[in-house]
Amino acid sequence: MPPNGIQAVLFDLDGTLRHNQPAGFDTLVGYLAELGHPLSQSQQHHGERWTHYYWAESPEQTVDRKEFAGETGGFWLRYTTRLLQAFEIDGDLPALAQQIGKRFDEDYQPTNHVPDDVIPTLTHLRVSGYTLGLVSNRPEPLDGVAADLGLGGLFHFTLSAGQAGSWKPNPGIFLQAASLATCAPEQAAYVGDNYYADILGARGAGLTPVLIDPKGLFPDAACRVIKEIGELKQEAFL
């Protein structure tokens, strides 16, 4: 049994255990510079914080998904235009968004990347007695995804939003995950990279949130903050 009150450690997937390499956001910033719109560090910081907000089931995302249901190109054009607005770039933003979309379509071929410290850390936590869960806003079941990433067998259970019928930051998915871990919400920690979906969502459901924030985007997170997953091997991480 773990030495603290936490019995289960639950993990987000994308941006936490699995990353696109190269990262889509960093690639977009590079494209903007090539197109004559270099961004300051402040603009990048503000824009990346906005992406976290948008993807946490924001009202804007809900509107865009309804308006562009079945129209992937239109959705991404709207999203990119919104992000350019968040950067506070001047000019014809829909036209610039189209240029960026063309560059992504032609050049961007990311690969999955699981940081070197992920498997040793998960193994350490499991051997230490924690129940481990993988909980993501993806619609599809996660067992096959975890196996493809080399993470099969490390989690006691997985839970996708599609299976739960609840999307982070809604408390429903967190409460279902705690139930699968056979513990009370206050006995579970949730580790994620999205402040709005993962941290506010977990806290609202009664779990202990841990934010992975390598760029220092959320200094006001008011929870345990780590820069890499390997820090979780420290017993005092909660």
- Give me the sign of the Cα torsion angle 84, 86, 91, 93: positive
Cβ count near 178 (within 10 Å): 26
Helix, strand, coil share (%) of the chain residues, nearest 5: 45, 15, 40
Q: Residue 94: which pLDDT band, with cuts at 50, 70 and 90?
A: very high
pLDDT on residue 234: 79
Q: Residue 236: which pLDDT band, with cuts at 50, 70 and 90?
A: low
pLDDT on residue 155: 98
pLDDT above 90 for 137: yes
Q: Alpha-carbon distance 61 to 171, whole Å?
A: 19
